[in-house]
Structure 1
Amino acid sequence: MALHLRGTVLPDGTLRDLWILGDRITFDRPTGEARTVADDGFLLPGLVDVHTHPGSRTEEEARWDPDAFAEQIAAHRDAGTLALRFPGLLGEIPDGLREAPDAPRMVTAGRWLAWAGLSKSADFHLVTDDLVAAAVAETEAHDGWCKLMGDWDFEADPVPYDVLRTVTEAVHAVGGRVAAHCQSAQGVLNAARAGVDSIEHGMGMPEECVELMAAQGAAYVPTLTAFARSAATRIKDNPRSRLWHEGHRIMIRRVREAHDAGITVLAGTDSAPFGNVATEVEHLVAAGLPAAVAVGAASWAARDFLGLPGLVEGGLADVTVYDADPRLEPGVLRHPRRMVLRGRVVR
């Protein structure tokens, strides 16, 4: 039996009827019976967190726990986050979970890849002296993405531009895309010049990076939720913390500049609690994004970026229903009234 929903379809804002047949959406009324599961409200393509790392019990201990992974992606789903990108996982997704009918859609990028010359690499990094081969292998083994560490601390030199450029060209040659962790000014600049597909974090991003990213079509994923929380706990009277706070202020400024330059800004939390992408939307609004753009950063724009069709003819059957328009009241994202995932009602 088909499912039927009626409401204001976002982002176009048109009051419409849509039907779900299997895992696809249609606007043409099908023959046979249909069960109405929503008859008013605002219909949104299911929320997306484009930067999340489930799979550990604590943030301090980088140890893969498949049970924690299952619990944390369920927390995402229960909050209406119906698609996830993992730019770095500590282990393999448990068999059967990726395609489970109640599991969010998942886009993986394999392990965090750290160049052997990058100092102070963390325990969870996959350190390699052949970054090109490792990046291509991770890209081909996962969903067309790899995750590079462009830098790791403020004091040490970042990965050189020529290394990042060579890796990026090799990944692009096999049809893949590169997400780059960057939190130092030179690290962000090297990654932007190298033509990576998404800058993750971007603390200390030099102004010139905005033009570079716009010209190359790179997306910006600032993960403000994680950095706002971290900045609040850091003492401000030592050099490293001062760099951190200044970098956080620069990130906030660059969000609006990136949007104004035509760069796609996307919502990623990079932190617990899982299922908290609504907070990232609120941070993006506070940084100066129009509310509709900030909501899109966690919904239709994110899905388009990941190749997951939204509420269009033949699109994926992931729908969240809200009582109010989230473009006017972003806080309503915390309270989905109805959720359909993979064509099944999960709330």
Structure 2
Amino acid sequence: MTLFRKLGGVVAAIGVIATSPAAADTLIYAGSVITDADSNPTGPRVIIVADGKVEGVYASTAAEVSAREADGAARIDLSDKTVLPGLIDLHTHLSGDPSGEFWREATTPPEYSTLIAAKNARITALAGFTTIRDLGSRTDQVTQSLRQATAEGIVPGPRVVTAARTISIVGGHGDVSGFTKDVNDVLTSGFTCTGPVQCSEKVRQASQYGADLIKITATGGVLSQQGRGLEAHFTNPEMVAIVETAESLGLNVAAHAHGARGVEDAARAGVQTIEHGTYIDEDAAKAMNANGTYLVPTLMAFEGVKNGLGKGVYTPVVEEKIRVVAAYADTLIPRALEYGVPIAFGTDAGVYPHGENAGEFALLVKGGLSNRQALASATTVAADVLGLSDEIGQIKAGFSADIIAVDGNPLEDVTVLEDVDFVMVRGKVIQ
């Protein structure tokens, strides 16, 4: 068998060849268009896509449409669908799949993690998520490489914004633990720190390695092999040093945080987003609102880990932590709404199976968001978090042609987003 044939099998398996090239001009005939989360369905419209961007949304009789038809522009018939902006997930881990087998840290080579990331990129895009923020990969340069590969159309997938590696305290959540000292030392990421100077250095190192933002584990975590609680890990001077250094480099900080005081400390230090936020209380919320910090709830992650309870999936120390946080997770959205905390969409995909991201919408609505608020959290709000509100999150002239189509109206029933029929990323159809 030739090398080409061998590689061809791998390429087909991860779907690299399943991205349709964009025509110079494409006409999308939509049954109705929701141009943004604040707008209602338009009724039949034609979206003109040129050079990977939306040129405009028109009535079928518009002169612009007739001219493109006469020029032989490609046609996509979605006349029985509702067309809307591609969705954004602010918390994913594309280089990993769900597993309670923590020992896999010691057996998984970076090449395998890269293939897993490529597989999950396509799965995530097909689920309707055309932009993702990846908050911690298993090995160096995996998501930075994926970011480039999806941008160049080599791998079908969403736009990737990546934190690359997570910055954590030594022995805390995000560091390697659970092995003997010799194994822990070999597997450590190189992104742990003690004291403001070291933590500042790790931020600069992450920037040097191509991170788009900084991710820290501000508190203990549920799935790590240590049971010392879910409150603050970093000292206040360490977190302030991280945020100030990141800001000096033009980078925002996302903080994994569960415990209320850890959330409060991270918000006071100036982080942009709180990931999870399980125990948010009034004081933590006040700090978040004072700083303009968003909550990224990751409710699907809580559902995913609860499904593994009592099945031998997790170690006893992890099982205990899951049981403790489960009840609080159910009340997270009502508390956030009560305290006026802004909510942005993120799921922690990788803790549960990739491609099921849209299950988060129903959980947000169950917690008290309207269908429209839930959709906004994954479009206009998430785009604002990324600093891309003039590029993505809407179907609008000059915006990236990140477009999906579904049956039904998500403003009436947000669960229709769990079954996406058509996906275009940067003007290219994902198949």
Task: Compute the TM-score of the two structures, normalised by the length of structure 2.
Answer: 0.72
CA contact (8 A) 2:97 2:353 kept: no
Kindly tell me: are residues 140 and 295 of structure 1, through their superposed partners in 2, closer, same or farther at Cα, counting changes over 3 Å? farther
Given residue 86 of structure 1, which amino acid in structure 2 is its aligned partner? D
Structure with higher helix content: 2
Is 1:277 paired with 2:360? Answer: no
Kindly tell me: are residues 120 and 48 of structure 1, through their superposed partners in 2, closer, same or farther at Cα, counting changes over 3 Å? closer
CA contact (8 A) 2:135 2:162 kept: yes
Is 1:68 paired with 2:68? Answer: no
CA distance in structure 2 between the partners assigned to 1:43 and 1:314 by the alignment: 17
Is 1:2 paired with 2:25? Answer: yes
CA distance in structure 2 between the partners assigned to 1:168 and 1:266 by the alignment: 22
CA distance in structure 2 between the partners assigned to 1:241 and 1:23 by the alignment: 43
Alignment equivalent of 2:400, drawn from 316, 320, 337 = 316
Alignment equivalent of 2:81, drawn from 41, 47, 50 = 41
Identity of aligned residues (%): 24
Q: Count the aligned residue pairs.
A: 344
Q: Cα deviation per residue 1:147-200 (whole Å; 9 max; x = unaligned)?
A: 011012553752122221221122112211000011122211211111100000
Tell me the residue number matched to 2:274.
199
Task: Compute the TM-score of the two structures, normalised by the length of structure 1.
Answer: 0.89
- Cα RMSD of the aligned pairs, angstroms, is 2.7
Tell me the residue number matched to 2:305.
230
CA distance in structure 1 between the partners assigned to 2:235 and 2:411 by the alignment: 41
Given residue 116 of structure 2, which amino acid in structure 1 is its aligned partner? A
| Structure 2 counterparts to residues 1-347 of structure 1, below 5 A | 1-5=24-28, 6=30, 7-10=32-35, 11=37, 12-15=39-42, 16-27=45-56, 29=64, 31=67, 32-37=71-76, 38-59=78-99, 60=101, 61-62=104-105, 63=108, 64=110, 65-91=113-139, 92-93=141-142, 94=145, 97-101=149-153, 102-116=156-170, 118=172, 121-123=175-177, 126-129=191-194, 130-139=198-207, 141-153=209-221, 155=229, 157-234=232-309, 240=321, 243-257=324-338, 261=340, 263-270=342-349, 271-306=351-386, 307=388, 308-309=391-392, 310-347=394-431
Gaps of 5+ in 2: 1-23, 58-63, 178-187, 222-227, 311-318
Secondary structure of 2:405's counterpart equals strand
CA distance in structure 2 between the partners assigned to 1:184 and 1:178 by the alignment: 18
- The farther-off stretch of 300-309 and 188-197 is 300-309
Kindly tell me: are residues 231 and 253 of structure 1, through their superposed partners in 2, closer, same or farther at Cα, counting changes over 3 Å? farther
CA positional deviation for 1:108? 0.4
Q: Cα deviation per residue 1:61-118 (whole Å; 9 max; x = unaligned)?
A: 3444111111111111121222111011122234752324222110001201013385
**Where in structure 1 do 4 or more consecutive aligned residues deviate above 4 Å?**
117-120, 232-235, 238-242
Gaps of 5+ in 1: none
Q: Cα deviation per residue 1:298-337 (whole Å; 9 max; x = unaligned)?
A: 2332233221423121000110011211121212112222
- The farther-off stretch of 238-247 and 313-322 is 238-247
Kindly tell me: are residues 334 and 118 of structure 1, through their superposed partners in 2, closer, same or farther at Cα, counting changes over 3 Å? closer
Given residue 374 of structure 2, which amino acid in structure 1 is its aligned partner? A
CA contact (8 A) 1:158 1:186 kept: no
